[in-house]
Amino acid sequence: MRPEQLKAKDLRAFAVVPIRALKDARITPSTFLVLAAFCSYADQMGRTFVSHLRIGQDIGITKSGVAYHVRKLRKAGYIVYCKPFYKNQKSTSNRIVFDPKVKHEETIRSRLSAKHQMELAEAETRMKQEHEQAIATPNALNGLDRSTLMADFQSLTTDFFTSAISSGWIIHPDKLRRGSVMLANQASELLSEPYSDRSAV
């Protein structure tokens, strides 16, 4: 029997949206809602590879409805294609255009603060490692995605630390983030191929 998969807690708290879209007559309220939803998944450079299906689930419209608004946003210059996050990436990478005058990703990266550049580099490295690990394991061949499980575990660990903080315990935010990633990696290493007759060792 397939074990019930825990849904990762949504940790998004805000979204940074191009302010010019508010005064753009081409952007209807529905199109702006789709833009805001994409922005909520974007990194410091405005990049995201969230699917149309996920956006539709977030705001309550169909996948084809999202695609319609994305076409409008591309035509209006708010969303552009960008380089994949990692080799052989199947999903489409997009970038939110905050400043139409800045067209190159490296220019956008260079304008980030040193702290944001370091956070971005860490996130990119972690994403590539999770992708490589998923490919290297049998779990990549079935419906139980290892990277999804790791994200779920990391979310649960973050919840644990957050609950401890609310109870009076102290942990530095950087240690909280690193600890949740480290524990998720360790938990992932304990997993063997699911739904087989072999016992985990």
Q: How far, in Å, CA of 9 to CA of 151, rounded?
A: 9
The secondary element (H helix, E strand) that includes residue 129 is helix 114-136
User: How is residue 93 annotated by DSSP?
Assistant: P
Range in 40-44, 68-72, 163-167 the model is least confident about: 163-167
pLDDT attached to residue 2: 46
Is 5 contained in some domain? no
Helix (H, G, I), strand (E, B), or coil: what is residue 96? Answer: strand
User: How is residue 169 annotated by DSSP?
Assistant: -
Instruction: Assess contact for 188 and 149: CB atoms under 8 A.
Output: yes
Q: Which domain CATH number covers 77?
A: 1.10.10.10
Q: Which domain holds residue 57?
A: 19-105
Is 184 contained in some domain? yes
Q: What is the pLDDT of residues 181-191, one digit of tens each?
A: 788 777 777 77
Instruction: Assess contact for 21 and 78: CB atoms under 8 A.
Output: yes
Q: Does residue 74 share a domain with residue 129?
A: no
Q: 157: how many CB neighbours lie within 10 A of its CB? A: 18
Query: Which of 105, 138, 158 marks a domain boundary?
Result: 105
At 22, is the pLDDT very low, low, confident or very high (cuts 50, 70, 90)? very high
Q: How far, in Å, CA of 177 to CA of 157, rounded?
A: 9
User: Residue 111: pLDDT above 50?
Assistant: yes
Q: How far, in Å, CA of 185 to CA of 18, rounded?
A: 35
Structural domain count of the chain: 2
Q: Does residue 160 share a domain with residue 120?
A: yes
Helix (H, G, I), strand (E, B), or coil: what is residue 49? Answer: coil
Helix (H, G, I), strand (E, B), or coil: what is residue 91? Answer: coil
pTM for the full model?
Answer: 0.57
Q: What is the pLDDT of residues 130-182, one digit of tens each?
A: 666 766 655 444 445 667 777 777 778 877 888 888 888 888 877 877 887 78
Is 194 contained in some domain? no
- Mean pLDDT, range 90-106, rounded to an integer: 84
Which tokens go with 100?
């139409």
Query: Which of 63, 80, 105 marks a domain boundary?
Result: 105
Q: Does residue 132 share a domain with residue 92?
A: no
